[in-house]
Structure 1
Amino acid sequence: MRMLVRLVLGLFVLKVVVASPRFSRQVDLDTYDSANYDVDLDNLNLENQDIYDYEDGLTIDDPQIEIGTLAPPDYNYPVPRASLEEQEQEEEEEEEEMPLKPQLTPQGSGGSGVLMGPDTQKGMPTCLLCTCLGGSVYCDDLKLDSVPPLPKDTTHFYARYNRITKINKSDFAFMNKLKRIDLTANEITSIDDGAFLGLPELEELVIRENHISQLPALPETMSLIDGSHNNIGSKGIHKEAFKDMTSLLYLYLTDNHIDYIPVPLPESLRSLHLQRNNIQMMHEDTFCNLRDFNYIRNALEDIRLDGNPINLSRTPQAYICLPRIPIGDLI
């Protein structure tokens, strides 16, 4: 009797086991042709794999996923918004700590008291707004309406093609190394008296293509003066303005309203351009010394008087000391 009960229980357990999905799957796997697929069914840990499969809801008909040794995918998890805001705040704090302007030291021009100058009307120090190369400062075509503060060691200053309307006495104060100023093609109408006299090294001044009616007083160190294409008239040049400029080589006053040659001219002068003015007459001693016929003025070999209402043939003695006759009308 006891044996019969054990047999019945054994058959019941066997029936339950056969009916379960796990056993069914195991039987199916056992029916694979191990010769074709070369799979060692005895070493497969199918029970553990089936547990994970059934936890994910897979059935026997679902496609099988091959388990390999590939590296896990690189997931780009989204950064929480709070972290991004904190990062941006940290970057802003770093930018605030970094200086946005060059270090300023007390040695500027025009009484500014700083090396690079205070903020210009464009909101930037001069050497960020302009280009500073060594002692040269280039501020061309920046729509400036005034001269920006300059570094104290500036030797050459260029501010061409801007909208500067006036030159103040303080613009170039204490600029002891400044040698050249070029303000071509601005809208300058006035220059303070003495604006350039305090520059001990100034040699070249170019203020052509402006609206100047009065040529400013200049230091004796000048070698080039270009005031062409302005409104300089008969009273626009100081008396004997060039007499003591013993190093003056080039004097260009083309296209103005000058009605006389501004004598006396220094012996060093090589080139004098006065074309297209209103010069009507010239004295015989304008260039030469009539009391000394041996006097020869070899340096002055380029005189332009064309475009003036003057007849050069009327004063032939005025050119006997010159290496070349001036250019102009002879009839």
Structure 2
Amino acid sequence: MKHPIERDRIQRFVAKNKLSHLIILYIAFTFLCSFISSIIWHFIFQDYVSGNLIFKMWYSFVYLYGYQPNIGDLTNSHKIISIFLSVCSIVLPTLLLGTVVFKILLPRKKRVVFRNKANLHIDNDNNHFIAIHSYLGSQLNFVNWKFVAYLRIDIDINKSNFPLRTYAIQITEEILAIPYTLTPTRILIPIKVIEQGSQNPKDKEQIVFSKKGTKYGLVEVFGNDVPSENKFDYEILIITSSQMPELSMNFTESKIYHSSDIDFSEDFKIKTVFDAKTNQVYVPDWSDF
């Protein structure tokens, strides 16, 4: 058996593309079927459907969309093409309907809207965190909104076969039981910050950054030194998942923050207001989200 085995290509294609793009592809495919049938009718069955090639292509196209000549007036050869077009006129709309239903009911991409930039957060006890903001961009109800975070970094200075390492990292607020939708939430990744030139603490439970002015370089991951040429070349992967009881579905999404996407210069804060009358939380200003 040949590997790797790839499955679900059609499902992935439908899920990846917008509904408008799929409808355009559907129309283009019907044009293609019309063109093929018109070529056959024009060059093989020249005695039927008078007119030039463009007219026959139009004839085939409207055939696919419901206009069908009396099949009893056709020869056996013409009946074969008519049957082909008749089958296509049934199958193609069915595929389109299935695609529309699939796109409507499938959990859409980006139900979770992440802020494009992560930022540094320092609490009142001078603890340092990388803060990541996001919200549920849907009117549906969600339960058990979970987050998992990973750090990927090349820590192998000798460049072995698999130098890229992935570490599961601790975050705050790993699960929100019943989150508000359209309301920002923040997860925090604990880090330790030392001044550049200080000795690495060799802490097997911490992610360590060295600070020089406004630049923060990753120098140690859970006791493993990071080569100096890689301290500004890392990425944080966030995996988020939740349940949607109204659709009886689950969904999982991801977001990658490269080192250049993390702003260490200032903390980012967004104000939320709770309206007791409607029992809703809203944001008066979404600027810089």
TM-score range with shorter-chain normalisation?
Answer: under 0.3
TM-score (norm 1): 0.18
Quick check: which one's helix share is greater? 2
Work out which structure has the larger RCO, using CA pairs closer than 8 Å and 6 or more positions apart in sequence: 2
State the TM-score, normalized to the length of structure 2: 0.19
Greater Rg over alpha carbons, structure: 1
